Amino acid sequence: MASNAPVGKPTDMSSPRLPKVAGIDSTVPAPPHTVAPLPGVPSAAPPSDAALPPGVLIQDRLASWVSDLTTLHELTERLIKTDSLDGALREMLGAGAALVGARRGMAVLEPADGLGPTSTIGLGLAHADLGTIETVPRGSGSYGRLLDGLSEADPPGAGLPEADPPGAGLPGNGPTAPRRPARVPEPIAIRDVRTEEGLDPRHREVAARLGYAASYALPLATEEAGRLGAAVWLYDEPAEPDERRRHLIGLYGRFATEHLARLLQVERARARVATVAEELLPSRLPRVPGVRLAVRHLTGPQGGGDWYDALPLPEGALGLAVGSVSGTGPSALAAMGRLRASLRAYAVMEGEDPVAVLSDLELLLRLTEPARSATALFAYAEPAQRRIVLAGAGHAPPLVVGDHRTEFVETSLSAPLGMLTCWEAPSVELSPAPGETVLLYTDGLLRRTGDATDRAFARLHAAASSVPRADRSDPGAVADHVLRTLLPGGLDPAVEGEDVVLLAARFE
């Protein structure tokens, strides 16, 4: 058997230095020629290496290295294209199954810091099968031991802390000590569940029920990222990956962990932004006789400044507003909160005159945030009389949807708030018929379609016109139909853009 040790420079040929591919060092140990190659990876070897010239042996080893690097490059390229945690876990699980030669498996995302999110993804396993596997005592299951920081040599209960505890360094919790590199547990291979020592009887029972005989568990962990989770692949017969496959899955697993760590940070940041945005917006819509309200708010990855409001006013009136602040991220969210709070105050004082409300808002924005612009639409509604008076500043016109008409409200043109030299756009009045729904929306709904403005308006009109008659009595169903028609895939998380707000008011 030929040795896998590095081969020196031969005298009869030059040994090229392989480049790094996808961040993977080319110095991958050559696999034994008696090991079966991975699917789709050529790796043929003569029956006797001793009878071959040294140059042929070197060429064979180089070909094997290149083959392995090519496989890893293709798999990592596919992985890096995933932009969600679930998508990355599914891709990693399928690629890992090919590398270790298994048919089924599961991946568990469970960050060691306890801050989430958590999820479990299966490959060739139904949801009920995953639940059955989770009934195995955590200390007996291989993936559970990895999640708890245990290796094959660790006694039960010997989990090791890997970094600062949750909340360290936050106000009131004292200073944060220098982060200690996390210890990465070794993979756990169970060659034969029936004969493996120390397994819980429940583990053997579950394996027999699901029809697997062996498993190979890999920690999704690196010293820098810490433990994010674990993956386990299941074999139908007693087996375990050979040294070559272990090496390849180890390289791929480290790359996958770093990619998951990046996606985890993005997901957490997105969740924090969404939480802040929701806290700055109404927790629920008011109940006012004569009108039914529904709202849909879709937030992009960084969070935008789109907002909405519905405010009960004296004498059974109702103030409706939508708007958008320029920019994205925390600063836009803070500006949005200040603008919305100011509009509520102006609406209480002079809501019957929407022009006066927006004029005050314009002056406030100009004095307090001169570098920022915003659009806004405010409507003063009297549901009992089915009467609406509205004014807009740089905002798209509302859309009236009913059994006999679907049309945009003709409003006067006006520049956005913060860009006006003087207020010249008057308010307009409309009277919705019984059963008609008025849609107020932000510009993000139009821009997220990716179409030119005129075509986006045409698509919005067509979407509202196609609302099924059975759904027109429910403002929430109307809003959902419009969103599904215009944005069938929702907001693409990989594309930066504005938020989307759609506020629907159906008059009885």
CATH at residue 216: 3.30.450.40
Answer with the one of 250, 271, 292 that is the final residue of a domain: 271
104 shares its domain with 246: yes
Instruction: Report phi then psi at 103, rounded to 5.
Output: -110, -30
Burial tier of 414 (Cβ tally within 10 Å: 0-12, 13-18, 19+): buried
The residue ranges of the chain whose pLDDT is under 50 are 1-48, 151-179
Report the sign of the C-alpha dihedral through residues 384, 387, 393, 394, in that order. positive
Same domain, 97 and 110: yes
Integer distance in angstroms from the first to the last C-alpha of the chain? 86
Distance CA 440, CA 458 (A): 16
Q: How far apart are CA 319 and CA 309, in angstroms?
A: 8
Contact, 87 vs 120, CB < 8 A? no
- What contacts 256, CB < 8 A, 6 or more positions away? 79, 88, 92, 96, 220
Q: Which two tokens stand for residue 450?
A: 């990716």
Question: How many other C-beta atoms lie within 10 A of the C-beta of residue 237?
Answer: 8
What's the rounded Cα separation, in Å, for the pair 375 and 419?
Answer: 10
Which residues have CB under 8 Å from 349's CB, separation 6+?
none
**Using N-to-C axis directions, what is the helix angle for 354-368 and 330-350, rounded to 10°?**
140
Has residue 171 been placed in a domain?
A: no
504: phi then psi, degrees, rounded to nearest 5: -115, 130
Q: Angle at the Cα of 220 (from 98 to 6), degrees rounded to 5?
A: 65
Q: How far is CA 177 from the centre of its chain?
A: 31
CB 416 within 8 A of CB 373: yes
What is the DSSP code string of 298-323? E--SS-EEEEEEEEEEGGGEEEEEEE
CA 248/CA 71 separation, integer angstroms: 9
Distances (CA, A) of 86 to 111, 210, 249, 457: 14, 24, 20, 34
Question: Is 265 within a domain?
Answer: yes
Closest CA to 101 of 30, 184, 189, 204: 189
Cα–Cα distance list, 65 to 51, 59, 208 (Å): 22, 10, 38
Percent of the chain with pLDDT over 70: 79
- Tokens matching residue 184: 């990465």
Are residues 383 and 460 located together in one domain of the fold? yes
| Last residue of one domain, picked from the residues 63, 81, 99 | 81
Q: Which residue has the tokens 């937030």?
A: 299
Q: What whole-number distance in Å separates Cα of residue 106 and Cα of residue 130?
A: 8
On whether residue 162 sits in a domain, the answer given is: no
Residue 58 lies in a domain: yes
Distance of CA 193 to the CA centre of its chain: 36
User: Are 326 and 309 in a shared domain?
Assistant: yes
Whether 244 and 311 map to the same domain: the answer is no
pLDDT, residue 23, reads: 40
Look at residue 168 and tell me if it is in a domain: no
Contact 182, 221 (CB under 8 A): yes
Same-domain status, 208 and 118: yes
Residues 374 and 485 in one domain: yes
Q: Could you tell me the two tokens for 191?
A: 């060659």
Residue type present at position 264: L
The domain that contains 379 carries what CATH number?
3.60.40.10
The residue segments making up the domain with residue 123 are: 82-156+181-271
- Looking at the fold, whether 215 and 139 belong to one and the same domain comes out as yes
pLDDT attached to residue 293 = 97
The whole-angstrom separation of Cα 321 and Cα 438 is 12
d(CA 41, CA 477): 52
**Residue 296 and residue 298: Cα distance in Å, rounded?**
7
**What is the CB neighbour count within 10 angstroms for residue 475?**
25
How far apart, in whole angstroms, are the C-alpha atoms of residue 44 and residue 34? 9
Distance CA 354, CA 317 (A): 13
Q: Which of 304, 291, 361 is nearest to 332 (CA)?
A: 304
Residue 120 lies in a domain: yes
The pLDDT of residue 298:
86
To 5 degrees, how large is the angle CA 349–CA 351–CA 355?
A: 115
The pTM score is 0.62
Measured between alpha carbons, how far is 482 from 494 in angstroms, rounded to an integer?
Answer: 22
What is the total residue count of the chain?
508
Residue pair 124/105 in contact by the 8 Å Cβ criterion: yes
Query: Residue 276: inside a domain, yes or no?
Result: no
313 in the same domain as 434: yes
Distance between CA atoms of residues 62 and 257, nearest Å: 28
- Among 38, 62, 81, the domain-final residue is 81
Q: What is the pLDDT of residues 440-485, one digit of tens each?
A: 999 889 988 889 999 999 999 999 999 999 999 999 999 999 999 9
SS3 363: helix
Residues 221 and 100 in one domain: yes
Residue 170 belongs to some domain of the structure: no
Domain check: are 376 and 390 in the same one? Answer: yes
pLDDT on residue 17: 39
**Cβ neighbours for 92, distance < 8 A, ≥ 6 positions apart:** 79, 107, 220, 231, 252, 253, 256, 260
Helical ranges in 122-200 per DSSP H: 127-133, 142-147
Beta strands in 370-420 (DSSP E): 374-382, 387-393, 399-401, 406-408
DSSP classification of residue 449? T
In this structure, the answer to whether residues 67 and 101 fall within a common structural domain is no
Structurally, the chain folds into a number of domains equal to: 3
